[in-house]
């Protein structure tokens, strides 16, 4: 029996400040640029103001990329273009600056943090700050067994909460969230299908490195088999993450919920973060108000999850690589919205016109006959 009470998040999470958002909307109406001329940037600026509780909105100056990493046993069923247990190589490439997220982060001046939750490698092979939250070596093969024990799921969830607290306490003002995994999109598809009540084929995509038709059919079969194991525990989100999630997905869910508690905005990346957000919404219905969908990855599971949470992606560039790269592309857009909301000058108030003296009856009569030749 878990000692973690997820219901506490419902009480702890508040919506972004509605009064501040109305103040931001009122300020926008006083700006010289016509309403609607900046499109969605207006909404973004007002959302940020409400999240920060400040008008004008403060600039986003200390963003951070946070990537949760793990290997999933289901990759052994031939559902991924990457080899089972291959996430360690991806993590190394991220740390060494050789992945798309590394290049973009370097260009934008954003630090990248990788958190190993369940990589299938010797923990001594990676830096201590990467592996210190690890729960286990690899997650179980979800089509035939649980991904985690309930105790491991709780430990992973608590680790995600701890990472969110560390980021909030360090002054991070916005998080770009992603994952580094092999087999993670399969677990994500199961979570989305279970929570949305859909069939495996509706939510199963082709992953970060697209798979062929045969691998896609194997992936659908794995999702279908895992769904049978997920349905009996749908009412308990921690049990669900233990059965068909994984240590990285459980940590992401805890991270997202605690970011909402700490009023720390998050940009979601692809289907994995979207699936965890969907679990988080089941835990605390107000939590998605603190999250943005950075991009459309093309994964059907992501589209289904975002639609259920009423989140519309900021970008659609066809980026499927994962690892937070697509969400990081959306960061300059959010920063631009903040700058426009804060720095566009307001129109000066027009001086009040003096009141005209009331006319006498004689003056009214004179005006009525003027120009008639009388």
Q: Chunk the chain into consecutive blocks of 10 residues (it has 374) and report each block's average pLDDT, rounded to whole numbers.
A: 83 94 89 87 94 93 97 91 89 94 96 96 93 95 96 97 97 96 94 95 84 90 95 95 97 98 96 97 96 93 95 91 92 95 78 63 56 46
What percent helix, strand, coil does the chain show, rounded to 5? 50, 10, 40
pLDDT at 2: 62
Fold of 8-17+62-333: Rossmann fold (3.40.50)
Torsion of CA 49, 54, 59, 64, to 10 degrees: -70
- Asked about 323 being catalytic, the answer comes back as yes
pLDDT at 373: 47
Joined tokens for residue 43: 């909404």
pLDDT at 33: 87
* Structural domain boundaries in the chain: 8-17+62-333
Cα separations (Å) of 143 from 4, 32, 56, 241?
26, 58, 50, 14
Instruction: Let me know: does 168 contact 57? Beta carbons within 8 Å.
Output: no
Torsion of CA 28, 29, 35, 36, to 10 degrees: 40
Residues across the chain: 374
Report which secondary-structure segment, H or E, holds 301: helix 300-309
Query: Other C-beta atoms within 10 Å of 349: how many?
Result: 7
Catalytic residue among 152, 323, 343, 355: 323
Q: Which residue bears the tokens 């286990």?
A: 136
Torsion of CA 338, 342, 345, 349, to 10 degrees: 120
Query: Other C-beta atoms within 10 Å of 194: how many?
Result: 24
pLDDT at 207: 78
- The most distant pair of C-alpha atoms in the chain lies apart, rounded to whole Å, by 107
Q: What's the CA gap between 233 and 348, in Å, rounded?
A: 60
Per DSSP, what are the bridge partners of residue 296? none
pLDDT at 332: 96
Nearest CA to 6 out of 172, 149, 150 is that of 150
């Amino acid at each position: 029996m878990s000692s973690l009470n997820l219901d506490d998040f419902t009480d702890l999470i508040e919506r972004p400040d509605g009064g501040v958002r109305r103040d931001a909307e009122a300020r926008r109406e006083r700006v010289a640029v016509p309403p609607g001329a900046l499109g969605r940037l207006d909404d973004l600026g007002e959302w940020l103001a409400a999240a920060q509780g400040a008008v004008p909105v403060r600039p986003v100056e200390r963003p951070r990329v946070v990537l949760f990493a793990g290997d999933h046993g289901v990759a052994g069923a031939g559902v991924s273009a990457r080899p089972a247990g291959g996430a360690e190589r991806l993590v190394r490439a991220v740390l060494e600056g050789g992945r798309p997220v590394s290049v973009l982060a370097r260009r934008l001046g954003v630090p990248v943090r990788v958190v190993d939750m369940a990589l299938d490698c010797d923990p001594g092979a990676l830096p201590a700050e990467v592996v210190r939250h690890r729960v286990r070596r690899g997650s179980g093969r979800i089509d035939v067994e649980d991904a985690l024990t309930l105790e491991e799921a709780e430990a992973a969830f608590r680790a995600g909460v701890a990472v969110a607290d560390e980021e909030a306490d360090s002054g991070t003002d916005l998080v770009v969230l992603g994952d580094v995994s092999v087999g993670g999109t399969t677990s994500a598809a199961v979570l989305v299908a279970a929570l949305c009540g859909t069939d495996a084929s509706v939510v199963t995509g082709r992953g970060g490195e697209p798979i062929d038709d045969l691998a896609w059919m194997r992936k659908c079969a794995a999702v279908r088999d895992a769904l049978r194991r997920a349905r009996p525990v749908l009412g308990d989100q921690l049990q669900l993450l233990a059965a068909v999630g994984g240590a990285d997905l459980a940590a992401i869910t805890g991270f997202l919920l605690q970011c909402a508690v700490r009023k720390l905005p998050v940009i979601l990346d692809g289907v994995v973060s979207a699936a965890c957000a969907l679990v988080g919404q089941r835990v605390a219905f107000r939590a998605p108000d603190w999250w943005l969908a950075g991009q459309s990855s093309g994964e059907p599971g992501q589209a289904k999850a975002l639609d259920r949470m009423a989140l519309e992606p900021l970008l659609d560039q066809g980026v499927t690589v994962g690892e937070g790269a697509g969400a990081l592309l959306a960061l300059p857009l959010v920063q631009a919205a903040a700058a426009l909301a804060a720095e566009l000058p307001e129109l000066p108030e027009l001086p009040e016109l003096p009141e005209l003296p009331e006319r006498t009856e004689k003056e009214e009569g004179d005006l009525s006959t003027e120009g008639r030749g009388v």
